[in-house]
Amino acid sequence: MLNLQAQPSALSIDLARTALLLIDMQRDFLEPGGFGESLGNDVSLLRDCIEPCRAVLAAARAQGLLVIHTREGHRPDLSDAPPAKINRGDPSVRIGAPGPMGRILIRGEPGQDIIPELYPIAGEPVIDKPGKGSFYQTDLELILKNRNIDTLLVGGVTTEVCVHTSVREANDRGFRCVVLADCCGSYFPEFHRVALQMVAAQGGIFGWVSDGEKLRQALQQAGA
């Protein structure tokens, strides 16, 4: 068992029933020349969470935790992409358009893949999702239930979009979520701050908020 300091309160975690979920740490969102930057965003604001994620990922692997990665993206023919999603924004940077790292947010293209710093290793499931939520039209819930997981340690991008949507989905399905604040990022710092406040508000309406350092310290104590 692990005792983790968090907001709104500390919680006990059974490591055998816990997974690390890293959401959409993809080149198209985090690297210069990707989809995020093409929309006018400062990708350095997201890159600040890479090192905390890498440290947490190493600690989770050392403890033998289940690690799951997600990638947002679509089929090459865009048959799984709603027209309302495709038609947002400037036509030159819409989903499916050619970019410096291949077609934007298309499965199998270099830009849709996970950044090298956090690349999955053998045995770590990768969930390809067509929407913002990690549970929508994916087998994530089945994987978690098959492994008897009840608690998710969550990092990824962006805090207020794919991370928040996934945490809300998980909450409705009965999973406990701990959002690791420094392991998440947003192109809009104010959105990041408020999104984290929303998770822990009202006694933890969607879950808990902690950080990577607290988690690593707790894991070290648990393994001592």
Residues assigned a catalytic role:
24, 129, 162
218, 177, 212, 214: which is closest to 198 by C-alpha?
A: 177
The angle that helices 50-63 and 212-223 make with each other, rounded to 10 degrees, is 20
Task: Tell me if 175 sits within 8 A of 155, measured CB to CB.
Answer: no
Contact 67, 89 (CB under 8 A): no
Nearest to 60 by CA among 224, 220, 175: 220
Residue with the two structure tokens 């740490």: 25
